[in-house]
């Protein structure tokens, strides 16, 4: 059989292990590995600053794995691929599927155009345990609630694909060469080196992902149910950036857990972790079936919600200067490390959309720019969940009390003291509510509210009542509209 030349279009699958498209290409002959920055992407699809930093280093890692032969291009993806086909006399193009709405449309168009020219084209599932088009209710409509989706729609189906082994040998076209200038021309790294703390904490790339997964299994997996809620403890897998860029597949994480522990589904800690992988799947599922999720309220009654516009309050929230310690610690962790603990994400999200009444889309855009794991599916569904406007969302009237959340999940104030060091001398009794500390204690602890640490920008009780009143107003409007129709 004649061996062919196949372009492997890497996207959010920057790995060699468990890469279905790569395996198909290797089986077909020699390959040209390519990464394309598509400059036709809509503004909402352009990666944020933190994600760009990660991408730069992940591409360097992938290139090293590919013997310094990763081709990097920028431009219209179809035009770039057509030029590469001509340059390398390629006969086939393969990729692993992505699920952002604009990318789906683009990929369908590219596949159609290439097939018309006689090029063999194939796409594969390299990013999800269960693809969204394959999971539907009995009436052939998509699920809108997580538990039946995951327990009935997914777990009762065929088990996820077992991971593909790393290829023993890859035959790469000799003319395919990495060009550092091409990578640098993408300007993924900022002029100002604000990422030194991020650099110290993270190891982008496939080996970094493998190390992180093994560490989680060895140190944290069997205490996951409780420790995942404690922001000062490394109780989560910290895999989300690696999963987003595809340096590890969810299949690898899934079967690593099942392989390391017997009867994993009978262990509550492990079952909860596997269900968190299920929540990631559900986010992609919602984005696929409801492509307006990133911009439009899933629950239409929120279209009438009386959001506030306050540049000052939004800025205070973004940079951790709200005067509410657990909120400020979370936002400073995000800015400093490119990451935020999942429990704290819910608390800071609730504070923005409920206590400050600022539109969830403003929070979504800030997270998009500052999170290393910024992911269109998880980010938009997460924000809609906390706002109460999404599928299977937290009820709007569930308003996280940041004081109680801090006192419950950061009892000793370790997390707050790490990211709000100006409060580190405060007794635990006041670490989550410094405004209640007597003046003499504040003086003794070198805390001057309004100077060394902000005064609260909002009264939590008053703002809670305001939020509930706003929701009641929206509910009444929805009821009136329903009665009139």
Taking only the tens place, the pLDDT of each residue in 219-275 is 999 999 999 999 999 999 999 999 999 999 999 999 999 999 999 999 999 999 999
CA within 13 Å, CB half, 76: 6
Catalytic residue among 74, 76, 279, 321: 279
Catalytic residue among 276, 281, 333, 364: 276
Q: CA dist 152 to 158, 274, 282, Å?
A: 12, 15, 13
pTM of the model: 0.95
Indicate left, alpha or beta for 121 from its phi (over 0: left) and psi (-120 to 50: alpha): beta
Quote the CA–CA distance of 275 and 286 in Å, as a whole number.
16
Quote the CA–CA distance of 358 and 308 in Å, as a whole number.
5
Quote the CA–CA distance of 261 and 270 in Å, as a whole number.
9
Catalytic residue among 76, 321, 342, 428: 342
State the architecture of 4-125 in CATH terms: 3-Layer(aba) Sandwich (3.40)
Quote the CA–CA distance of 242 and 89 in Å, as a whole number.
33
Quote the CA–CA distance of 333 and 341 in Å, as a whole number.
8
Taking only the tens place, the pLDDT of each residue in 437-469 is 999 999 999 999 999 999 999 999 999 999 999
Residue 195 pLDDT: 82
Which fold does the domain 300-484 belong to in CATH?
DNA Cyclobutane Dipyrimidine Photolyase, subunit A; domain 3 (1.10.579)
As to burial, measured by CB atoms within 10 angstroms (0-12 exposed, 13-18 middle, 19+ buried), residue 34 is buried
Indicate the Cα dihedral angle 239, 146, 356, 345, nearest 10°: -20
Which fold does the domain 127-160+201-291 belong to in CATH?
1.25.40
Catalytic residue among 9, 54, 254, 383: 383
Whether 342 is catalytic is yes
Whether 279 is catalytic is yes
Indicate the Cα dihedral angle 370, 235, 282, 339, nearest 10°: 0
Cβ neighbours of residue 204 closer than 8 Å, sequence gap 6 or more: 54, 57, 58, 61, 241, 242, 245, 247
Tell me how many degrees the CA angle 362-102-134 measures, rounded to the nearest 5. Answer: 105
Radius of gyration, alpha carbons of the chain? 24
Quote the CA–CA distance of 394 and 3 in Å, as a whole number.
54
Across-strand partners of 92?
A: 6, 120
**How do the domains of the chain map onto residue ranges?**
4-125, 127-160+201-291, 300-484
Q: Which two tokens stand for residue 56?
A: 């730069």
Whether 412 is catalytic is no
What is the CA 186 to chain-centroid distance, rounded? Answer: 22
Residue 397 pLDDT: 81
How many other CB atoms are found less than 10 A from the CB of residue 460?
17
Contact 77, 113 (CB under 8 A): no
Across-strand partners of 38?
A: 75
Whether 202 is catalytic is no
Residue 1 pLDDT: 44
Whether 113 is catalytic is no
Indicate the Cα dihedral angle 363, 283, 215, 155, nearest 10°: 160
Whether 194 is catalytic is no
The percent of the chain in helix, strand and coil, each rounded to the nearest 5, is: 55, 10, 40
Quote the CA–CA distance of 96 and 241 in Å, as a whole number.
18
List of the chain residues with pLDDT < 50: 1
Catalytic residue among 64, 113, 307, 401: 307
How many other CB atoms are found less than 10 A from the CB of residue 9?
24
Q: Which two tokens stand for residue 92?
A: 């086939």
Catalytic residue among 360, 366, 368, 385: 360
Cβ neighbours of residue 305 closer than 8 Å, sequence gap 6 or more: 297, 389, 470, 471, 474
Residue 233 pLDDT: 94
The DSSP secondary structure of 347-413, one letter per residue, reads: HHHHIIIIIS-B-HHHHHHHHHHH-TT--HHHHHHHHHHHHT-STTPPPTT----HHHHHHHH-TT-
How many other CB atoms are found less than 10 A from the CB of residue 314?
18
Quote the CA–CA distance of 39 and 157 in Å, as a whole number.
38
Residue 485 pLDDT: 60
Three-state DSSP at 3 gives coil
């Amino acid at each position: 059989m004649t061996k062919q030349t196949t372009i492997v279009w890497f996207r959010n699958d920057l790995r060699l292990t468990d890469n279905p498209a790569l395996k198909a290409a290797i089986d077909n002959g020699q390959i040209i590995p390519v990464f394309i920055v598509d400059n036709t992407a809509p503004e909402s699809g352009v990666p944020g600053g933190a994600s760009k930093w990660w991408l730069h280093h992940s591409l360097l890692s992938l290139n090293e794995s590919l013997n310094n032969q990763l081709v990097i291009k920028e431009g219209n993806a179809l035009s770039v691929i057509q030029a590469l086909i001509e340059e390398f006399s390629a006969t086939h193009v393969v990729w692993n599927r992505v699920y952002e709405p604009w990318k789906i449309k683009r990929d369908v168009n590219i596949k159609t155009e290439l097939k018309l020219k006689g090029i063999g084209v194939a796409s594969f599932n390299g990013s999800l345990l269960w693809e969204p088009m394959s999971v539907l209710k009995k009436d052939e409509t998509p699920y809108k609630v997580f538990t039946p989706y995951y327990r009935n729609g997914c777990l009762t189906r065929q088990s996820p694909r077992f991971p593909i082994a790393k290829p023993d040998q890859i035959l790469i076209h000799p003319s395919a060469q990495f060009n550092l200038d091409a990578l640098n021309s993408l300007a993924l790294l900022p002029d100002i080196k604000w990422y030194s703390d991020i650099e110290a904490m993270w190891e982008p790339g496939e080996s970094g992902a493998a190390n992180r997964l093994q560490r989680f299994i060895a140190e944290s997996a069997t205490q996951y149910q409780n420790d995942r809620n404690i922001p000062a403890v490394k109780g989560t897998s910290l895999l989300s950036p690696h999963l987003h860029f595809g340096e590890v597949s969810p299949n690898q994480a899934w079967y690593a857990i099942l392989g390391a522990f017997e009867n994993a589904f009978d262990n509550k800690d492990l079952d909860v972790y596997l269900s968190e992988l299920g929540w990631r799947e559900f986010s992609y599922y919602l984005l696929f079936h409801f492509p307006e999720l990133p911009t439009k309220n899933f629950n239409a009654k929120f279209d009438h919600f009386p959001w506030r516009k306050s540049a000052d309050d939004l800025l205070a929230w973004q940079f951790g200067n709200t005067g509410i310690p657990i909120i400020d610690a979370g936002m400073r962790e995000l800015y400093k490390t490119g990451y935020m603990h999942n429990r704290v994400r819910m608390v800071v999200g609730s504070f923005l959309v409920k206590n400050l009444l600022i539109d969830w889309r403003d929070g979504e855009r800030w997270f998009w720019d500052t999170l290393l794991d910024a992911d269109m599916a998880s980010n938009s569904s997460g924000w809609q969940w906390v706002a109460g406007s999404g599928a299977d969302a937290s009820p709007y009237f569930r308003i996280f009390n940041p004081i109680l959340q801090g006192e419950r999940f950061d009892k000793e104030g370790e997390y707050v003291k790490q990211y709000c060091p100006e409060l580190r001398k405060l007794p635990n009794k006041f670490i989550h509510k410094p405004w209640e500390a007597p003046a003499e204690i504040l003086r003794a602890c070198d805390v001057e509210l309004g100077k060394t640490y902000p005064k609260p920008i909002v009264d939590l009780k008053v703002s809670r009542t305001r939020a509930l009143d706003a929701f009641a107003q929206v509910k009444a409007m929805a009821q009136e509209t329903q009665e009139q129709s």
